[in-house]
Structure formats: C-alpha cells, structure tokens
A and B are shown apart, each in its own frame.
Chain A
Amino acid sequence: MTAAPTPMVRGLSTRLARLPIRRISLIALGIAIIYGVVAGTTATLRTGKFDTHDWVNFLVQGIARGSVYALIALGYTLVYGILLMINFAHGEVFMAGSFTAFFVASALAGHGFLDRQPIISFVILLLVSVATSVTVALLLERLAYRPLRGAPRLVPLITAIGASLFLQYTFRGLYGEQAQAYPEIDAFQGTVQIAGFPVTKEQLIVIVGALILWLALYLFIERTRTGRAMRAVGEDRQIAALMGIDVDRTIRITFAVGGALAGAAGILYVLLFNQVNFTMGFIPGLKAFTAAVLGGIGSITGAALGGLILGVLEAVGPTLFLTGTGIPSAFQLTPIVSFGILVLVLIFLPGGLLGAPEEKRA
C-alpha cells in the first residue's frame, strides 16, 4: 500500500512538471553561449594581439574557404530539396574530382604546359574534375539511391554512409593512400590590393569563381525549363509526374548538377589547401552540410550564405572568441565552432536562416 500524496505535495509536483524545463534550459544555454562569445571577444580585443590587418586577413581567408563550402553545400541542398535525403557521400564526389584531376595536373606540370598556358590548364583541370565528379554522382544515384526511393528514411541514409566509405576506399585502392601536393600555378601566385588590403590571387579566383558558379546555378534553377522541372519535382513528385515531367531524368540532372559544382569546388579547394588525398572529402562535406543547414536546407541562396558565414566564423571564431580566455592553441578547437554552430542552428532555428520552418514529413 502506498500512501497517497497529500494535496499540497501533489499540487507542487504537477506544477513543477508543468514547468517548460526544456525551454528554460535552452534559453539558459543560449544566454550562456552569447555571454561566452561576447566576453571572449572583448577579452581578445582588449589584449590587442591582433590589429585590423590581421582581422581582414582572417576574414578574406574565411570568405574564400566559405565559398568552397558553399559550392559543395549547393549539392546537398539540391538533392535534399528534391529527394528529402542527405547525400552523405557528396563529400566523396568532391574528392573524386579533385583527386583525379591531380594526376592530370602533375602530367601537365611535367610537360611545362601548366606554366606556359595557365588559363587553359586551369580550364582543363576544371573539366576533368567536373567530369569525374558528375560520373561518380550519377553512378551513386543509379546504383545506390534509386532502388531505395520511398524506403524508410533510415535506409537511404545508412546506404549513403556505406557509399561514402566505399568510395573513399575505392579511390584509395585506385590512387594510393599518400597525400599528393598539387603543382602550383605560377601565374596564380602573388597578391593584389583590394581597398588597401592584400588578397592573394588564389583567394580572389576562388571567391570570384564560386560567385560565378552560384549565379549560373541560380539562373539555371529559376529561368530554365529543367530548373522549373526540378522545383516541381521537389514540391510533389507524383503531381510533377502527372504534369508530364520525367521524374527520373530530373533527379539524374539534379545529381549531375550537384556533382558538377562539387567537381569545380574540388579544383578551387586545391588552390587554397594544395593537398589531396582519399579522405579529403569527408570533413569539407560535413562542413558543407552544416552550411546548407545553417542557410536553410533546400534554399540555394541559403547554401551560399551558410557557406560564407560558416567559413568566416571558422576563420575568425576560435581566435576571436577564445584567445582572450587564455585557452591555449585556440585554432585546435575549430571543429567545435563548426559543429557547435550546426547543433545550435538545429536546436534554435531548425529551418535555417532562409529555409521554410521545419515541417514534419513522414
């Protein structure tokens, strides 16, 4: 026999149970993070270790890095917009292009062609990388994802993880496990002054290149017939089919376009980081996914915006927030900034910056 709780105790416990504990703790978490960021920032700025010059440097680095993230993020967003699935292996599509183009680059460098005709060489590399990435993306869609259309959500996701691992180790089997250093293109070295601040030519190419590609994609989606078909399939696959849209073809095109952007990103990436190996796609892929979520998955502008914000926060964040707090080697904590952003965005703003508010889909 258990004694019934006295009315007063029961009242208190139900009242306690009704408290929105989750919301309160989330608000507390939010306030704590904002306080930490503000306090860290003021402390860092007060130390005076870095001047304007340094900050602009960080910023440009961040924008360049963010442009690459943005390009990869577009692939995630396009596929998610249509199939509502995270193409976990997209990072490997990016790696495939970049890694394959390396061998062309080193062959071109060996013949001296790379330095004689830097622009033509660059275009060749871009084409090789894009072609490889598109091929891999299409194979992935055909072999791994298409048979699973309509399966429970967990199923294609696990498939995608498996495909990601499989692709990584396939390329390791093909090209070996060492990291390879891309040959440098002499014509792309050096800096230019923009508004009094030095920007390396490579960074400039990356930023401008990404901007052009983003614009091209935007026009493609908004202005062409195929783009309209893609949007329609994203809205409702069955009705799109009834309207005479070839759904399979549209999905293929989506994967191809995403792959092409990833391939281009692969070449821009090596301008910044120079090294390729078979695992290079994984972390940028994750960060690009973060960028896509941050901007609002499904939104093209959002992916670009998210990429830039993430890139800048990564480049500036650890130094700005943490140096002043006395934490040694703050740059080591970069992954915490990027994944922390992902977690926070999903908790506080599940729709992302520009996305529609999250609706539940079965």
Chain B
Amino acid sequence: MIERFNDRNVVTGIIQLGLILLIITIGGFAYRASGRPKDGTAPPEPVMAGAVAGAASGAMVALFVIVVTLLAEAGYVARDMFESVTPALLDILTFQQNPWVGSAIMIVMAAGVGGLAGYAHRLPAEGRKLTFLGLGTLLIVGLAAPIVDVMVKGLGLPSGWLFRREGLTVAGALLVLVVTVALRWYLDRQGGFRRAAAKLPGITDSNIKKVGLTAAAVVVLALPWLVNSFISEVLGTVGLYILLGLGLNIVVGYAGLLDLGYVAFYAVGAYVTAVTTSLVGYLVTDDPLRPAQNGWTSFWLALPITVVIAFLIGVLIGAPVLRLRGDYLAIVTLGFGEIIRTLVLSDWLKPYFGGPQGVTDVPAPPPASFEFRQPQRLYYLILAFALLALFVSSRLKDSRIGRAWAAMREDEDIAEGMGVSVIKYKTLAFAIGAAVGCLGGAFFAAKLSVANPGSFTLLVSINVLAVVVLGGMGSIPGVVVGSLVLVGLPELLREFGEYRLHIYGAILVLIMLYRPAGLIPDKRRARELAEAKELKETSGVAAS
C-alpha cells in the first residue's frame, strides 16, 4: 500500500510522495531531538545532535529492512503476517540496492536530513519560518498539482511548463518556492496582510472585509466553471458535508451534546425524500413490475416534508435520552443510528425501504429541463442550501436560544438555576440539528438517485464529527474548512483514499491533544477549553 505513494510525483521525476514522507518523519524526529532541552540545560550542538538523531532513525529503518530480509532468507516471509511489507516497500527503503548497501545509504541520508533539520535551529527565527513555509507550500501545491493544473488551464493559460504528469516541473517548483517566500517576506515587512492590502488603491480599513467577502463570493460562484466536472462533483460532496457539519455543529458545538448517531438524520433525510419521490414500482403502483410515471410527490415538495419529519424524529429520539450525561448520550445516540440502519436493512420493512438495495429510481429535482444532476448545477443547488444553513446557524448562535445553549454547555446546573429549561433547549438543539442534517440526506438521494443502507454507516457519523472537531466545535467557518480538508482533499489525493479513516482517527486524537478548540476556534469555546485546562493544571499540581 505504501509503495503507491511513490507513484505520486510532487516534483516530477525528482521527488515522490513516499520519499517525502520518509524525510518528514526522520527530519521531524531530528528537529525535535536537537532542540533546546526542556529542563533548561545547555542547548546541544544542533547540527551534530540532529545528525545523530537522524542516523539513529535511519538505523531503525535499516534494521527493519535487514530483519525482514534475513527472515525471508530463513523461510519466514514477513508479508504472510504483515500485509504491507511488500517487495516494493523494501525497494523504496533500500533505494533499489541490495539490503546492506541500501541500509548504509539510508543511514547516511538520514544523518544528512537530520543534520539539516538540526541546522534549522541555527537559522534566525524569521528565516526558519520562511523555510518551513516555502517547503510546506511546495508540498501542498505539488500534491494539488492536478487540480491547480486544471484551474490554470480553465483560465486559458498555458500550464505545460508548470506541471507535468501530475506533479510540478522543476521550473514550477522553483516558482512556487520563490513566490511564496518573497510574498511572505514582503507582507511581513509591510506588517501583515491587512496593512499591505490597505495600501492598494480604493481599499480602506473600513471596507476591507466587504472586499474580501466579495472576492470570496466571486471565487465560490466561479469555481465550477474553472474546474472540470469531477472536481465540481467533489465540491458538491464537500457541500453535503458542510450541511451535515453545520447541523452537527449545532448539537455538538453549540449545545455541547455529543451525538454519535448523527447519520440517523442523514438517513432519514435520504429515505424520506426517496420514498416520497421515487418512481420505483412497488411504492407507487399496485403492479410492482410497472414503473410509475410520477412519484408520490416532487423533490421540492418532499424537501419541507423531509425537514419536518426529521425535526419530529429528532424530538422523538432526543426527548427521552437527553437527560443522560454526556458520555452515555454518545453511546445511546450511536445505538439509535444502528437501530435505524438495521430497520431500513431488514426484510420486515423491505416493502417500504427496499432492504439492502434501498429505494432506487429517485428522480432529479424538477424541472427536468434544468438537469440538476449535472455536477455544476448540483453544486449551485447545494451551495444555496449550505448558505441558508450558514445563515440560520450564525443567526441562531447569538440569539436567545444560542445563548441558552452556551449557558447550558458551560454549566448545566447554573443554567437551570438561571431559568433555562435544559430539557427544552437540548431537545431543540437535537431537533434543529436533525432538520439541518436531513437536507444533506435529501440532496444525497437526489444526487445519486438512490437511498441505500450501505451509505449510512456509523463511519459517516464519525466523519462528520471529525469535520466539526477539526474546524473547531461551535465555529461556523471551522465547519467549512473542516469539510474542505477532510472531505475534499482525500477525494483529490487518491493515494490517501485508503488511509482516509486512519487519518480521521489520528486527527480526532491529535486535535483533542494539542488544539482542542480546532483550527479556527470559536472564541467562547476556546476560552471554555482553556479554562478547563488551567483548572486541570492547578489540580494536577495538587494531586501529584
């Protein structure tokens, strides 16, 4: 599996992703190992320390290669147990040499990388920042090369000298590096982006936000026409997750209730829309073999029905269990998600939900002449509803309801004492979250023309949770960024596709460990988490 990373060019013909991952790992270790020790002892000689640390990590890799080779010679093939230990992986780790020579090269290279990483400590802070920024941008642009390529072409510019075979050319790589570093350096000189932008003609401090928003709106609207239909479709999927994320954000972020069965509402949205609009024979006509001309209703009528039903189901599921404490609630909602999936899968309800096949033949939203299924059009449709959801949730946040949620989240007992009806507001959060999330389901059914149980597994709940957590619980821009990063990127970086869930898991853990308020923290939420941490630190001192 890992060898597939090496098919991916970052700078075509020179650097592949596999090599980069290796270098980043070794360099990262060396960088940390050569830094100033925490206990305040004298700083080590950073280049030497880095080289030693690098060589040590290289030696670990070499040891692994040699052990595997020796075992294989003795008749024990490591691959029988460890599936990923393929000959191709060994080839990468030995630079296509024999194991001994390869190991030697590996150690020397690792020492070099480690030394360079150690040298970074010697650079002045500004230089170090610029170096990391430049290399980071290079990596991102290199990985995103296929998309950027399409977009450059979409603008009608020649792109052959920048990109070749899904990677940057050497010229392109240099250009990216120089432009990034120069731009950042210039902006730092000017005292930041806002200051620099304010010097442009026609921009003042007061309208800069407006100009920025307008620019963003133009980009968002023009995007489908710059890229091909595959990317438009990916953007549509991102939009679906934005809808789901906004819905879950209300439950988890605003009200502080961990819902692990959120997929239930996604499923409700898809199934209600599908059942009410599907043309499939058994739902509409008496003769199961003859497909109907029309479903029971059209998509646009089904949408409000779906929202109402999802809202009611949210109340029904929420009301009895919302008195439970946080972690019990998580498990119970997870149970509800599984119950709903089991129900739609069962033979018992097959006459309504079609069993494992699901409900098929869901028509596209009318009018038929507009062809909503075309990815670009669907993008606009989803965009419109995502904007609506954005508006609703940003207005909710500072409304009376939103403030009640915040109070409840910070301290349930005090909120109750202040006259906030905890049960009422919890139920409301649950139901509104359900109503927003079901829109995602409705579009899913309309997009794929089917609602089938296979699409509504627990993993969806966890994906949406990861989106919300990465962006920052309670943060609306966070949901957008989270969806772009977690849903958009893996679709585009096919090599990571298999590792997607692996990465989701790691992200959930790492974010909680290092940045619990997320990438774009919501101010109030960040403060709550920081306070809890302070408390923990003071009580930790008392306990130890």
A interface residues with partner B (beta carbon < 8 Å): 22, 25-26, 29, 85-86, 103, 144, 147-159, 161-170, 172-176, 237-238, 241, 247, 286, 289-290, 293, 327-329, 332-333, 335-336, 339-340, 342-343, 346-347, 350, 358, 360-361
Interchain CB contact (< 8 A) of B342 among A153, A166, A290, A336: A336
Given contacts A163-B509, A174-B84, contact A347 B346 (CB under 8 A): no
Given contacts A162-B505, A327-B348, contact A335 B324 (CB under 8 A): no
CB nearest neighbor in A for B317: A343
Q: Chain B residues with Cβ under 8 A from A358's Cβ?
A: 325
Given contacts A158-B465, A162-B512, A165-B501, contact A175 B82 (CB under 8 A): yes
Q: Chain B residues with Cβ under 8 A from A347's Cβ?
A: 320-321
CB nearest neighbor in B for A21: B319
A154 touches B258 (CB 8 A): yes
CB nearest neighbor in A for B531: A152
A168 touches B1 (CB 8 A): no
Cα(A237)–Cα(B542), bound, Å: 11
Cα(A147)–Cα(B343), bound, Å: 40
B313 contacts the other chain (CB 8 A): no
Cα(A261)–Cα(B113), bound, Å: 44
B324 touches A346 (CB 8 A): yes
A336 touches B543 (CB 8 A): no
Q: Chain A residues with Cβ under 8 A from B346's Cβ?
A: 329, 332-333
B389 contacts the other chain (CB 8 A): no
Can you list 9 A-B pairs with a CB-CB distance of less than 8 A?
A153-B326, A154-B252, A155-B512, A155-B516, A156-B512, A158-B258, A173-B1, A286-B335, A339-B335
B334 contacts the other chain (CB 8 A): yes
Question: What are the nearest 10 A-B pairs in CB distance?
Answer: A162-B508, A166-B505, A165-B505, A150-B536, A339-B335, A176-B83, A169-B502, A162-B509, A159-B512, A329-B347
Q: How many residues of B contact A (CB 8 A)?
A: 61
Q: Chain B residues with Cβ under 8 A from A340's Cβ?
A: 335, 339
B84 touches A333 (CB 8 A): no
Q: Chain A residues with Cβ under 8 A from B65's Cβ?
A: none
B81 contacts the other chain (CB 8 A): yes
CB nearest neighbor in A for B331: A289
Residues in B322-365 with C-beta less than 8 Å from chain A: 324-328, 330-332, 334-336, 338-339, 342-343, 345-348
B535 contacts the other chain (CB 8 A): yes
B260 contacts the other chain (CB 8 A): yes
CB nearest neighbor in B for A164: B505
Interchain CB contact (< 8 A) of A161 among B1, B82, B320, B465: B465
Min CB–CB distance A71 → chain B (angstroms): 19
A333 touches B501 (CB 8 A): no
Cα(A342)–Cα(B544), bound, Å: 37
Min CB–CB distance A128 → chain B (angstroms): 12
A293 touches B328 (CB 8 A): yes
A86, A168, A169, A328: residue with the most chain B Cβ atoms closer than 10 Å: A169
Cα(A85)–Cα(B258), bound, Å: 14
Min CB–CB distance A20 → chain B (angstroms): 12
Q: Chain B residues with Cβ under 8 A from A26's Cβ?
A: 320
Instruction: Tell me whether chain B's interface is mostly helix, strand or loop, or mixed.
Output: helix
Interchain CB contact (< 8 A) of A350 among B82, B324, B347, B540: B324
Given contacts A25-B319, A175-B82, 11 further A-B contacts (CB under 8 A): A148-B513, A150-B539, A155-B512, A157-B327, A158-B258, A163-B505, A169-B501, A238-B543, A328-B348, A332-B345, A360-B413
B84, B347, B506, B513: residue with the most chain A Cβ atoms closer than 10 Å: B513
B332 touches A342 (CB 8 A): yes
B115 contacts the other chain (CB 8 A): no
A157 touches B326 (CB 8 A): yes
B535 touches A103 (CB 8 A): no
Cα(A290)–Cα(B328), bound, Å: 10
A165 touches B321 (CB 8 A): no
CB nearest neighbor in B for A162: B508
B462 touches A165 (CB 8 A): yes
Cα(A198)–Cα(B84), bound, Å: 44
B512 touches A148 (CB 8 A): yes
Q: Chain A residues with Cβ under 8 A from B260's Cβ?
A: 161
Q: Chain A residues with Cβ under 8 A from B332's Cβ?
A: 342-343, 346
B513 touches A147 (CB 8 A): yes
Min CB–CB distance A122 → chain B (angstroms): 20
Q: Chain B residues with Cβ under 8 A from A29's Cβ?
A: 320
Min CB–CB distance B461 → chain A (angstroms): 9
Cα(A167)–Cα(B324), bound, Å: 28
A85 touches B502 (CB 8 A): no
CB nearest neighbor in A for B469: A158
Interchain CB contact (< 8 A) of A247 among B80, B325, B328, B543: B543
Cα(A153)–Cα(B324), bound, Å: 13
B532 contacts the other chain (CB 8 A): yes
A157 touches B536 (CB 8 A): no
B499 contacts the other chain (CB 8 A): yes
B339 touches A166 (CB 8 A): no
CB nearest neighbor in A for B473: A154
A150, A162, A175: residue with the most chain B Cβ atoms closer than 10 Å: A162
B7 contacts the other chain (CB 8 A): no
Residues in B74-91 with C-beta less than 8 Å from chain A: 80-84
Q: Chain B residues with Cβ under 8 A from A158's Cβ?
A: 258, 465, 469, 508, 512
Cα(A340)–Cα(B338), bound, Å: 10
Cα(A165)–Cα(B328), bound, Å: 19
Q: Chain A residues with Cβ under 8 A from B92's Cβ?
A: none
Q: Chain B residues with Cβ under 8 A from A151's Cβ?
A: 512, 516, 529, 532-533, 536
B509 touches A144 (CB 8 A): yes
B256 touches A238 (CB 8 A): no
Cα(A86)–Cα(B332), bound, Å: 13
B324, B328, B343, B535: residue with the most chain A Cβ atoms closer than 10 Å: B328
Min CB–CB distance A247 → chain B (angstroms): 7
Q: Chain A residues with Cβ under 8 A from B83's Cβ?
A: 173-176
B380 contacts the other chain (CB 8 A): no
A175 touches B81 (CB 8 A): yes
Q: Chain A residues with Cβ under 8 A from B512's Cβ?
A: 148, 151, 155-156, 158-159, 162
